[in-house]
A and B are shown apart, each in its own frame.
Chain A
Amino acid sequence: MKTSRSTRRVDDGAPWPVIVVATLTIVFFALPFIGLLGRTPWSDLFDVLGESRVRTALWLSIRTSVTSASASLLFGVPLAWVLARGRFPGRSAVRALCTMSMVLPPVVGGVALFFSFGRQGVFGRFLDDWFSFQFTFSVWGVILAQTFVAMPYLVLTVEAAIRQADARYEDAARSLGGSRWYVFRRITVPAIRPALVAGVVLAWARALGEFGATITFAGNFPGTTQTMSIATYLALDTDAREALVLSVVMIATSFAVLFGLRDRWMGAATGTTR
């Protein structure tokens, strides 16, 4: 039915008002980047990138964002599975709770983490009393903040894929005597592999860009908590050149990620609306 309709469609292109508005929208998204690239000091790009401050921030961002993306994968997939396949009351509320940090202003997430896991926070005080450990001003604070804001991207992407995957293959494998773990490993994971990749990459990109929750919760110290995003924001006041170069690095990364993912992400997105 669906295919026959689409083959019968007359392809006379989009109506011109749509094209006009769409073109304006593209310009709207392109202009800020053109403006930024126009001000970028290309001739000393590598000088600035070579500065130890910048390299320290870059290296810290790579380490923390990879760790946060891995943590998102480890903890996010079971959550996505429960949300997709579990049958329990209040599932929508649980999903809302676990993905809220995606739509909240990140700084609100940082405030929440600060008052919960800070040294005198509701839970953080026990960490300090028992283990003399505190998240604030440590690299673990950065990872916690990044995972908090990044994991929902993985959870939603993977959940959509699990829903979309045909459960009958799993049922068949189970009825043939496969253990649950075997079925998950050999049937479920291959079926959702594109979504797993997309989810990890999106979570990683979000972790890399995380700023608000990190500076509120973890502080700012080169090599420990000063990530690329924080360095960019703070450099704007002191050395705009540095801020521009750091921005270019992050724009290039984000564009590469989204461009590389275009089909996988679109596929997962269609899955959600179905």
Chain B
Amino acid sequence: MRVRAGIIVAVLMAFGVACGSNDAERSRLDVMAASSLATAFEILESEFEAANPDIDVRVTSGSSSNLALQIENGAPADVFASADESTMTKVAGFLVPDYRVFATNELQIMVAPGNPKNIRSLADLQADDLIVITAQEGVPIRGYTDEVLTRAGVVANFRSFEANVGGIVTKITNGAADAGIVYRTDVIATGSRASGVDIPAEQNVVARHPIAVLTSSTRRDDAAAFVAFLQGLGRDTLRELGFGTP
């Protein structure tokens, strides 16, 4: 019994050490980013930290609607990047005026690599034997998806409403679902694990990703520096990842 307790204590301590932080002298900057921006922000984070060695950026990602809820409930973050402007407007009272659109995006239909089900257009999503998924209401990609489907006059037969874009991407790249409308940058980020089908320009919408400093931030200079970085040096990276930069 004593040996077993010893093992448990050792495991817990190892866990604690692994989680411990060793960079107490760097000031921390908490950034909340929509899950569609998570991959981009990981890259931008290390670029920004390389240029500002005294700042330690921590990125939290989730659906924009969930992050907005956390902000409304006093989450101690410094910067918020949402996938759409309407979510940003919802938390307007918590923003240092005003938010800026730092990147734009297009929508694509994400399908399995090589498009084995031969999906060519939005109209093809109506087929009964296809498993098409989207996100739940309130999540920006769902709003954009509904908009393009309405423009195309298509009623898709959705089989699941995931919590965020990440859920759609995971289920398609792992073959559980056949198709879903996501951001073009999501398709690019998955590399060879998925293919994208273009949506004609007259049916497509431009997704606008806004960013803002939060009023709850105690490090507003650092936060402003991060926002300025995305609109300056970070633009090349954003373009490489497939975003548009206004």
Using CB atoms and an 8 Å cutoff, list the residues of chain B in contact with chain A: 63, 65-66, 69, 131, 133, 136-139, 158-163, 167, 171, 174-177
Partner among B159, B163, B174 whose Cβ is within 8 Å of the Cβ of A215: B163
Kindly state the interface size class of chain A when it binds its partner.
Answer: 20 to 34
Q: Is A234 an interface residue (CB 8 A)?
A: yes
Q: B-facing mask of A193-209, CB < 8 A → 1, else 0?
A: 00000000000000000
Nearest chain A CB to B70's CB is how many angstroms away?
Answer: 10
Given A236-B69, A237-B63, A220-B176 contact (CB < 8 Å) = no
Nearest chain B CB to A10's CB is how many angstroms away?
Answer: 30
Nearest chain A CB to B223's CB is how many angstroms away?
Answer: 24
Q: Which of chain A's residues 71-123 have a Cβ closer than 8 Å to chain B?
A: 114-115, 118-120
Partner among A115, A220, A224, A225 whose Cβ is within 8 Å of the Cβ of B136: A220
Compute how far the CA of A221 lies from the CA of B162 in the bound complex, rounded to whole angstroms. Answer: 9
Compute how far the CA of A122 lies from the CA of B130 in the bound complex, rounded to whole angstroms. Answer: 22
**10 cross-chain CB contacts under 8 A:** A119-B175, A136-B171, A137-B160, A215-B167, A219-B162, A220-B136, A221-B158, A221-B160, A233-B163, A236-B69
Contact B176 A119 (CB under 8 A): yes
Given A137-B159, A220-B162, A234-B136 contact (CB < 8 Å) = yes
Partner among B63, B131, B174 whose Cβ is within 8 Å of the Cβ of A137: B131
Contact A120 B65 (CB under 8 A): no
Nearest chain B CB to A51's CB is how many angstroms away?
Answer: 14
Using CB atoms and an 8 Å cutoff, list the residues of chain A in contact with chain B: 114-115, 118-120, 134, 136-137, 215, 219-221, 224-226, 233-234, 236-238
Compute how far the CA of A233 lies from the CA of B139 in the bound complex, rounded to whole angstroms. Answer: 14
Contact A118 B175 (CB under 8 A): yes
Q: Which of chain B's residues have a CB closer than 8 A to the CB of A236?
A: 66, 69
Q: Which of chain A's residues have a CB closer than 8 A to the CB of B66?
A: 236-237
Q: Which of chain B's residues have a CB closer than 8 A to the CB of A233?
A: 163
Would you call the interface of chain A mostly helix, strand, loop, or mixed? loop
Nearest chain B CB to A37's CB is how many angstroms away?
Answer: 18
Contact B174 A115 (CB under 8 A): yes
Contact A238 B136 (CB under 8 A): yes
Compute how far the CA of A233 lies from the CA of B163 in the bound complex, rounded to whole angstroms. Answer: 9
Compute how far the CA of A220 lies from the CA of B174 in the bound complex, rounded to whole angstroms. Answer: 17
Given A220-B161, A221-B159, A238-B136, A136-B176 contact (CB < 8 Å) = yes
Contact B177 A137 (CB under 8 A): yes
Compute how far the CA of A136 lies from the CA of B131 in the bound complex, rounded to whole angstroms. Answer: 10
Nearest chain B CB to A190's CB is how many angstroms away?
Answer: 34
Q: Which of chain B's residues have a CB closer than 8 A to the CB of A237?
A: 63, 65-66, 69, 136, 138-139
Given A234-B136, A238-B65, A238-B137, A114-B176 contact (CB < 8 Å) = yes
Nearest chain A CB to B137's CB is how many angstroms away?
Answer: 6
Q: Which of chain A's residues have a CB closer than 8 A to the CB of B176?
A: 114, 118-120, 134, 136-137, 219
With contacts A237-B63, A237-B65, A237-B138 known, what are 9 further pairs, Cβ within 8 A?
A: A114-B174, A134-B176, A219-B176, A220-B136, A220-B160, A220-B163, A221-B161, A234-B163, A236-B66
Measured CB to CB, the nearest residue on chain A to B175 is A120
Compute how far the CA of A31 lies from the CA of B71 in the bound complex, rounded to whole angstroms. Answer: 23
Compute how far the CA of A204 lies from the CA of B12 in the bound complex, rounded to whole angstroms. Answer: 31
Compute how far the CA of A236 lies from the CA of B136 in the bound complex, rounded to whole angstroms. Answer: 12
Contact A219 B159 (CB under 8 A): yes
Which 8 residue pairs across A and B have the least CB separation, nearest first?
A120-B175, A219-B160, A238-B138, A237-B65, A136-B176, A137-B159, A220-B161, A118-B176
Q: Which of chain B's residues have a CB closer than 8 A to the CB of A136?
A: 171, 176-177
Nearest chain A CB to B11's CB is how many angstroms away?
Answer: 13
Q: Which of chain B's residues have a CB closer than 8 A to the CB of A225?
A: 160
Q: Which of chain B's residues have a CB closer than 8 A to the CB of A137?
A: 131, 133, 159-160, 176-177
Compute how far the CA of A119 lies from the CA of B158 in the bound complex, rounded to whole angstroms. Answer: 17
Compute how far the CA of A120 lies from the CA of B178 in the bound complex, rounded to whole angstroms. Answer: 12
